[in-house]
Structure 1
Amino acid sequence: MADTEADKRGYLWEDFRVFHLKDSRGQTLREHYHEFDKLTLCLGGRVTYVVEGVTYFLRPWDLLLVQHGLIHRVSIDPAEPYERIVLWLGRDWLARRSTEDAPLAACFDRTRERNFHLLRFTPEQRLTYMRLLQPLEESLRSREFGSGLLADTLCQQLLIQVNRDVGRDRTAEQTDSYRCDPKIEEVLRYIGRHLSEPLDVDALSRRFYLSRYYLMHRFKAVTGYTLHQYITQKRLLRAGELIRSGQPVMKAAELAGFQDYSTFLRAFRNTFHTSPREFYSRGEKRSLFHDAHVD
């Protein structure tokens, strides 16, 4: 399956898409987020990922789960080529392939809830994933009868395995795999749960017993965003979710924490490059994530 430059910059045209990439240049991709869910399996290189303020130091055969709407960035060390397999997953497809007792997106929900997104595999697990990924890649390249159906089935099988492994994973106990700032993590969690309420630097600094200066500078150092930028982006994502679910635009803006509708419209257009009504009708198949490459 050929990958055009547009594909690599964030458009999901299919139910799911697989990339197998290898880069030898060092770079840091700025903070961004997706409207779809994503798995990144590191096969080689020295890579640092930051997801919602938690820094992960990837090793070969580490799997990173990044749910839609999570802000993240990646830094690639040029000393070693960065090879990875990236799987983009459409949320509609995940829902259609799920059952009530086996929602395929549960692995993303779980990693988001605990704010830990890394799986570090044992040698036995590596072999299992190799056996799952190789035929998936082959079926996507094939033009034989039923190859698309086979790929769909294999992708479901892969997600079932990921869900099982997330449920019993203990990677978080390996302190060399990640670094976080507990206080900023608290602030991020609070923001995510109180988007509809007034949120400003002074109120947050009082709530978490931090000086205004320290909170502003530490937050930017950990997340890459100013506090105001982060809250605005999270509110826009929340508003987008509400609009997609059928909520009237003005009500969605209010529920997401925007007190001024004109400010909301301007920020929405600047972020999504479309109006809220067009955003609703556009659907997920063409979801843009800020012009970032496949990471």
Structure 2
Amino acid sequence: MNSISMQKLKQVLFHLEGSTENLYQQLPMVQTGAQINHDTSHTADQIDLHSHVFYEILFVCRGQNVQYLWNNNRYRLQKGDIMLIPPGVTHRPVFSGEFTEPYERYALWIDPDFFHSHASQFPELNYALEQCRLADSGLLRSTNATYSGLYAGFHTLWLEQEGQRFGWEAAVALGAIIHLMIHISRTFYYRNTSVAKTETRSLFDDVFQYIDTHLCEKLTLDHVASQFHVSSSTISHMFRKQLDVSFYHCVIQRRLIHSKNKILQGTALQDVWESCGFPDYSSFYRLFKKEYGMSPREFRMLNMHKPDSG
């Protein structure tokens, strides 16, 4: 299989769908075991809330005024940060303030089954991910002294993938698991990286978390505003400013991500829509297909590799 860069993936999906509105909802792994992407944003691109069925490890090379949502946590990124994103976790960058320099990062994608098969033999591979899970955090902050080593690890995998010499797919997959993940875990074990602190909580963070904990309930703008003793226009303006989407669109995105996780957990399709707050199955089906380009049943068959019982 030929190597494919993030830009090529974008081009492929653009021609398939006609737009990049739900690009990051659809990005697939196209290599066995693991693949690495390199991307640079020169403008404050619109990236919706999304999740993946694989692990995503982001390494920040540069970027000013970039924050990141990881579930209900919000972080301010800086050079050398490592964002650990397990399957099913809601995430997206948030571009705040003036865009003073490009946001450049490597994104390593690892197939969960491939990762777990190795981590079951060598638990050290999972050390950093497990410590972040226990701390309910997704961001590791490296020291200046460790940046060059981490950068070299990501860049070496990228060069291997781009060069496509004999055995490159094995080199990328095994290099990602054995070399890079153990390097990340080792830097954390020896305190050369640490769990980063979240940004000071704001009204936006509290509302964002409220949505997540009340997904199966009726979430109207007026009701949520009353819970926080502010006007509905305050909530509406806040979401437009922070995420460049409406309050309602954010609610739908979070419900759809939750529905994907429920499907992957084996919940019957006829039970998913109600547990995720949709008024009926037809609304759930229509919104799911619009967002992801496939029906809930097709999503389940594609990712579960077994007949649908729902």
TM over 0.5: yes
- Distance, in Å, in 1 between the alignment partners of 2:291 and 2:102 is 32
Deviates more, 1:97-106 or 1:79-88: 97-106
Residue 268 of structure 1: which of 276, 279, 288 is its match? 288
The one-letter code of the counterpart of 1:104 is N
SS of the residue corresponding to residue 33 of structure 1 reads: coil
Residue 218 of structure 2: which of 192, 198, 202 is its match? 198
> 1:273 Cα shift?
1.4
SS of the residue corresponding to residue 259 of structure 1 reads: coil
Aligned to 1:3: 5
> 1:271 Cα shift?
0.9
The one-letter code of the counterpart of 1:60 is K
- Distance, in Å, in 1 between the alignment partners of 2:213 and 2:294 is 27
> 1:187 Cα shift?
1.9
- Distance, in Å, in 1 between the alignment partners of 2:232 and 2:131 is 32
1:11-160 equivalences in 2 (<5 Å):
11-14=28-31, 15-21=33-39, 25-35=42-52, 36-46=54-64, 48-51=66-69, 57-67=76-86, 68-73=88-93, 75=95, 80=101, 83-99=104-120, 104=126, 107=129, 110=132, 114=136, 117-130=138-151, 132-140=153-161, 141=163, 143-144=165-166, 147-156=168-177, 157-160=179-182
- Distance, in Å, in 2 between the alignment partners of 1:22 and 1:238 is 29
- Distance, in Å, in 2 between the alignment partners of 1:106 and 1:250 is 37
- Distance, in Å, in 2 between the alignment partners of 1:95 and 1:132 is 21
SS of the residue corresponding to residue 283 of structure 1 reads: helix
- Distance, in Å, in 1 between the alignment partners of 2:199 and 2:283 is 36
> 1:166 Cα shift?
6.0
Q: Is the 8 A contact 1:90 1:284 kept in 2?
A: no
> 1:260 Cα shift?
1.6
- Distance, in Å, in 2 between the alignment partners of 1:84 and 1:270 is 28
The one-letter code of the counterpart of 1:3 is S
> 1:233 Cα shift?
1.1
The one-letter code of the counterpart of 2:82 is L
Distance change >3 Å, CA 263–CA 2, structure 1 → 2:
closer
> 1:26 Cα shift?
3.6
- Distance, in Å, in 1 between the alignment partners of 2:263 and 2:128 is 23
1:249 aligns with 2:269: yes
Distance change >3 Å, CA 206–CA 113, structure 1 → 2:
farther
Distance change >3 Å, CA 4–CA 92, structure 1 → 2:
same
Runs (5+) with no aligned partner, structure 2: 14-26, 306-310
- Distance, in Å, in 2 between the alignment partners of 1:225 and 1:215 is 12
1:17-70 per-residue CA deviation (whole Å, 9 max, x = no partner) reads 1124556x4452332424233222232454624425876554432333444442
Aligned to 1:213: 233
The structure with higher relative contact order (CA 8 Å, sep 6+) is 1
1:224-271 per-residue CA deviation (whole Å, 9 max, x = no partner) reads 332211111111111122222322211011111212221111111111
Aligned to 1:185: 205
Q: Is the 8 A contact 1:94 1:105 kept in 2?
A: no
Runs (5+) with no aligned partner, structure 1: 286-295
Aligned to 1:237: 257
- Distance, in Å, in 1 between the alignment partners of 2:8 and 2:228 is 43
- Distance, in Å, in 1 between the alignment partners of 2:204 and 2:131 is 21
TM-score normalised by structure 2 residue count: 0.72
Aligned to 1:222: 242
The percentage of aligned residue pairs carrying the same residue is 22
SS of the residue corresponding to residue 278 of structure 1 reads: helix
- Distance, in Å, in 2 between the alignment partners of 1:247 and 1:109 is 28
Q: Is the 8 A contact 1:220 1:226 kept in 2?
A: yes
Q: Is the 8 A contact 1:26 1:75 kept in 2?
A: no
Give the number of equivalent residue pairs: 278
Distance change >3 Å, CA 4–CA 72, structure 1 → 2:
closer
Superposition RMSD on alpha carbons, in Å? Answer: 3.6
SS of the residue corresponding to residue 46 of structure 2 reads: strand
SS of the residue corresponding to residue 119 of structure 2 reads: coil
